[in-house]
Amino acid sequence: MTQSNPLVRRTTIVRVYPPDRVPIFSLFSRDGVTAMTSKFNLTPINASEGAEANFGAGRAEIGGRPIIIELLKINERRVILTAQGDTREARAVLSAVLEQLKALDARNPSPFLPEGHLIDREESVLVQQLSFDWTALLSDALSRFIATKLLPAASEELGEARIAGVQVNFDIRYQAKDGKLAEAGIEISPKKFAVETRAGSVLGDNLYYTISPTDAARHQSLLEDLERSLKKAK
């Protein structure tokens, strides 16, 4: 039901490892940061601050196709990657990054194992035109309040008030099902589901910036479910 393909796809993957598994000190030694930045054309961002390496604005060649890396963060327990693309593309980049970490740790008697993680989580961003007007995200009572109370009260002598954007956010928290996570001192980070009119767009264009605590494919499915639900509610 969506009116167009996404203009932007962005996927973030978070891997959490047991203590002392991520070779953060191998990364900081033997020119590891240089090797990482060279392989993926990354820009270091405080890349040696404490026990965490942060990189941005990179590019990975996967199957002859460049994939943009927006953020790569590596610390002693986590590897976090944000890349432009869907799940398949982002995971291909993550696999290449983890193999590079493994290569840097090759001299370790117990080398880094990319698949030895405790948690693997994903979230995604899509920007695309959807089939509903922003007012469909509001209840009738809230729409009336905006039109009859808020906008008249916000208007002033210099200009008439109008709605320039709308954001609907749902914060999502998690209760761990696996007791091993608590034993390892790992808390499951909260996520969000958000639907926002795209900043700088014309409201009538129905262009939305959306965040989902899922991969891009499920994200797309959720947006189609949302479109159907709002259509039925009319």
Hunting for tokens 């700088």 — which residue is that?
200
3-state secondary structure of 161: coil
What pLDDT is attached to residue 181?
A: 77
The torsion angle over the Cα atoms of residues 46, 51, 56 and 59, rounded to 10 degrees, is: 130
Rounded mean pLDDT of the chain? Answer: 89
The torsion angle over the Cα atoms of residues 176, 181, 186 and 187, rounded to 10 degrees, is: 0
Measured between alpha carbons, how far apart are the two ends of the chain, in Å?
Answer: 16
Crossing angle of helices 32-40 and 87-104, in 10° steps, is 150
What is the model's pTM? 0.86
DSSP label at residue 97: H
Rounded distance, CA 6 to CA 75, Å? 32
Render pLDDT for 116-168 as a digit per residue (tens, 0 to 9).
Answer: 898 999 999 999 999 999 999 999 999 999 999 999 999 999 999 999 999 99
Q: Determine contact, residues 42/55, Cβ cutoff 8 Å.
A: yes
DSSP label at residue 189: P
The residue-averaged pLDDT of 85-97 equals 94
Assigned token pair, 124:
């995604």
Render pLDDT for 120-133 as a digit per residue (tens, 0 to 9).
Answer: 999 999 999 999 99
Q: Determine contact, residues 165/196, Cβ cutoff 8 Å.
A: yes
What pLDDT is attached to residue 50?
A: 60
φ/ψ of residue 152, rounded to 5: -60, -40
- Alpha carbon 183 to its chain centroid, in Å, reads 27
- Other CB atoms within 10 Å distance of the CB of residue 198: 19
Rounded distance, CA 61 to CA 83, Å? 12
Hunting for tokens 């469909």 — which residue is that?
136
